[in-house]
Amino acid sequence: MAIRYHIAVSDRYPEAEKLVKAVTTCGKPEDAPLVYIGRRNTLFYIVPGGKCGGDTTNPLPFAVNVKAFRIPPFPNGYIYRTFRASKARRSYLNGLKLLAMGFMTPQPVGYSEIHTGMRFSGNKGVWPRMTRSYYFCEQIPFPNMRGWEERPDAEALVKAFGAEIARIHASGIWFHDFSPGNVLVETKADGDYKFYYVDLNRMDFNIHDPKKLMQMFKTVSWHDSWTERIAQAYASAAGKDPSATVAAAIEAAHQWRDGHAKKERLKGYIKKMRAADQDK
């Protein structure tokens, strides 16, 4: 089975091409700090001057986050080569589009894919399957919003965040994975806030259906009282009816929690069945 590497780097950081290629061909460098490892992806970063693989080092003046997506199960590896862009490519292109629209996200550096198939000559061949893919972006030093309800400035943050969601919706942007863990927040010296968005592979543009957009409230908080406050701030900024907006936000949150609980119960049942089979 032959292998082909697809490398794409931002025009802003052409010097990063060797970094992207080194990680794609060699995998995670041994001394690269690990941020997260999960079932779907692994996240690590490479400091300025840090090794990327072989003799290659990070030439950029900032640390680069690398999101390594898992090998997609059948038939997704083939779908990503024919009908749909890979998660890495979508993350990169969506990041560039967000910045062009005036929203913040860590600067996209590039993305890469590993294709497998049959080589004829040179780089010519048939490459029906994608295996690995990587997204590279700037690392920024701001915390995510997990547990934001416990912050001493939570009330001020609610107003700013509600207004920011209104701005997102007015621009027709729908984040499918809009959760506190995917929003980084910078507190400015004047007390204002700047929001940065990560985990960008599942989002759509030119969406103006209120039912779809209100789904972004489903996981902004696990507490109805705080979801209600954000919805009120959102309604005030967007010029919408507060009562109807709060009702729609709470409904979205409850529907998601009910669905999540059902999935967890199903997972528990399957786990018990597997354990029972092993004991036989």
Mean pLDDT split into 10-residue runs, the chain, 280 residues: 89 97 94 91 96 93 96 80 89 98 98 83 71 96 95 96 98 96 95 96 96 96 96 98 97 92 78 66
pLDDT at res. 20? 97
pLDDT at res. 268? 74
CA distances in angstroms from 41 to 37, 68, 163, 231, 275, listed in the order given: 6, 6, 31, 32, 27
pLDDT at res. 123? 63
pLDDT at res. 238? 97
pLDDT at res. 276? 62
First CA to last CA across the chain, in angstroms?
A: 40
Q: Rounded to whole angstroms, how far apart are CA atoms 220 and 185?
A: 14
Please check whether residue 115 is in contact with residue 66, taking contact to mean a CB–CB distance below 8 angstroms.
no
Domain boundaries defined on the chain: 2-138, 148-260
* 92-97 CB contacts, 8 Å cutoff, 24+ apart: 92/8, 92/135, 94/200, 94/201, 94/203, 95/137, 95/200, 96/10, 97/205
Picking from 173, 176, 178, 177, the residue whose alpha carbon sits closest to that of residue 205 is 173
pLDDT at res. 153? 95
Indicate the class that CATH gives domain 148-260: mainly alpha
pLDDT at res. 280? 59
pLDDT at res. 122? 65
This prediction's pTM: 0.90
Q: Strands across the sheet with 41-46, in order?
A: 2-9, 108-121, 124-138, 64-69, 41-46, 34-37
pLDDT at res. 138? 98
